[in-house]
Structure 1
Amino acid sequence: MADLKPIQDKEKQVVYLKERLNIFMEVLDSIDPEEAEVEDIDRLIEMIDDIELKCEQFRGRE
């Protein structure tokens, strides 16, 4: 079972956010602008929203 405790360590928070941004960039790079569908754009927006939420959570733990 995965460890679901909140990430408290600042360094681990930064690593987590970098990993999420790298995943986002990989997905973004894989999308062909000529063939992108609304679902693809919606998924990108959802990924950014998730990253933003995590940033707010980390900020609240200071």
Structure 2
Amino acid sequence: MITCANITMQFDSKPLFENISVKFGEGRRYGLIGANGCGKSTFMKILNGSLKPTSGNISIDRN
């Protein structure tokens, strides 16, 4: 399971998204949709570890 708690991302003190909290269960499929420029790719980069969020925590439970 991947747990995101209060993920916030800012660029030049301008928030892209704030306080995103979500849990992704093992063996499940998820989709991420939204308007252009809303932060979908940025959020995926945060999830895969290639970008660090401004604040918040991500934990991965590897049973």
Asked if Structure 1 and Structure 2 have the same fold, meaning a TM-score greater than 0.5 normalized by the shorter chain, the answer is no
Larger Rg over CA atoms: 1
* TM-score, structure 2 normalization: 0.28
Instruction: Point out the structure with the larger helix share.
Output: 1
